[in-house]
């Protein structure tokens, strides 16, 4: 999956960042939500994203991979753009009402290596906020409308983003657990066939470092 930045102004994959990012660092940014006009294709190597103040607290990441069926790439891109725009509005409304944005990050990007494959990267303060966003009518309408344009089911995964910058193994809420089951398959038990499955890099709001 292509890495995505939490900070508005970062063009992922091109190395181009805003001056404030260069001087202050991504993790120190504190900016209001700002709409980015479109979901970028693989040729532009950037993403639609929004950001609010980044905290040092742990959080939850939710990812979705969507593969457009033959001839449906532009249609999927348009639906994704509308979904990102609508969820930005939802986040802004929740921020105005409670001083807490529903989503810390909500980004969409086409895969840089596989045309027609799109990734959603979302980050929330906790699992409760993540569930609220997924159960929101905007999300339900999006998944219902986009399903006919996809070549396969949407691939979903969640991760625990720890305060030290690391992320947990993929959290899989279904399937058999324990030895030989999903725990081994995903590395959730940190061991698979005797081999350690530990992360060696840390992330800063979607950026590996």
Better-predicted residue by pLDDT, 20 or 134: 134
User: How many structural domains comprise the chain?
Assistant: 1
Report yes or no on 74 lying in a domain. yes
Report yes or no on 89 lying in a domain. yes
Query: Percent of the chain scored above 90 by pLDDT?
Result: 29
Report yes or no on 82 lying in a domain. yes
Q: State the pLDDT at residue 70.
A: 93
Report yes or no on 115 lying in a domain. yes
Q: Using one digit for the tens of pLDDT, what is the confidence trace for 62-112?
A: 999 999 999 999 999 999 999 999 998 888 887 766 667 788 888 899 999
Structural domain boundaries enclosing 72: 56-168
161 confidence band (pLDDT: 50, 70, 90): confident
Residue 122: give its domain's CATH number: 3.30.70.100
37 confidence band (pLDDT: 50, 70, 90): very low
What b/e string do you get for 37-69 counting C-beta neighbours within 10 Å, with b at 16 or more? eebbbbeebbbbbbbbebeeeebbbbbbbbbbe
Report yes or no on 140 lying in a domain. yes
Asked whether 123 and 157 are in contact (CB, 8 A), the reply is no
Residue pointed to by tokens 């905290």: 55
The pTM for the full model equals 0.59
Report yes or no on 130 lying in a domain. yes
């Amino acid at each position: 999956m292509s890495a995505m930045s939490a900070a508005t102004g970062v063009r992922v994959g091109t190395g181009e960042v805003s001056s404030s990012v260069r001087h202050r660092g991504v993790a120190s940014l504190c900016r209001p939500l700002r709409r980015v006009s479109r979901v970028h294709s693989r040729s532009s190597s950037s993403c639609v994203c929004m950001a609010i103040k980044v905290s040092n607290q742990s959080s939850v990441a939710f990812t979705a991979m969507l593969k457009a069926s033959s001839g449906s790439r532009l249609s999927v891109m348009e639906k994704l753009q509308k979904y990102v725009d609508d969820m930005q509005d939802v986040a802004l409304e929740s921020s105005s009402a409670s001083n807490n944005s529903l989503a810390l990050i909500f980004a969409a990007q086409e895969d840089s290596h596989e045309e027609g494959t799109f990734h959603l990267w979302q980050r929330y303060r906790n699992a409760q906020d993540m569930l609220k966003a997924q159960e929101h009518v905007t999300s339900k309408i999006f998944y219902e409308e986009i399903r006919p344009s996809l070549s396969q089911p949407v691939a979903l995964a969640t991760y625990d983003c720890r305060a030290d910058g690391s992320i947990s193994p993929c959290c899989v809420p279904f399937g058999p657990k324990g030895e030989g089951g999903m725990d081994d398959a995903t590395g959730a038990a940190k061991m698979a066939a005797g081999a350690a499955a530990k992360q060696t890099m840390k992330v800063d709001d979607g950026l590996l470092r």
